[in-house]
Amino acid sequence: MTKKPQVQLPMDIKSILDLLPHRYPFIMVDRILDFEAGKTITGLKNVSMGEPFFQGHFPGEPVMPGVLILEGMAQVATVLAYLSLDAVQGKLVYFAGMDNVRFRKVVYPGDQLIFQLELTRQKRNIIKMIGKAYVDDVLVTEAGLMAAFS
């Protein structure tokens, strides 16, 4: 069995890339700010005009796609799972569902997204979490996330 990684906060992008299989242009988290094993995690994403999706979403009015905000939440949730759960070690984590998704504010280049995730349940190979994303302490997105690992 693979051992859970050690955590040193803040966790930088190199440490995150050691855990996640995602790579440019699909890595949606830059730093892990806080972590409590099996409970919560806080991640950060600096939203830059240099992101490739802004070329087409939308020309003249760049807006971060909501699905990519959810992807950022999911990536931070995956870091929490890898750092907390023995059963996940050495396995891939996949999106399995989303509930109660709400996009409350638009996210623009120059914003800094703060993702806060809370692990609410883990049964067999299914993990459930509640995720929230903030910009300047204002809630921009929230969702219930479900993931499966195998």
List the catalytic residues. 57
d(CA 6, CA 4) in angstroms, rounded, equals 7
Q: What are phi and psi of 110, to 5 degrees?
A: 100, -15
Q: Are 38 and 112 in contact (CB under 8 A)?
A: no
Q: Is residue 52 helix, strand or coil?
A: helix
Cβ partners under 8 Å of residue 75, min gap 6 = 20, 22, 27, 28, 29, 43
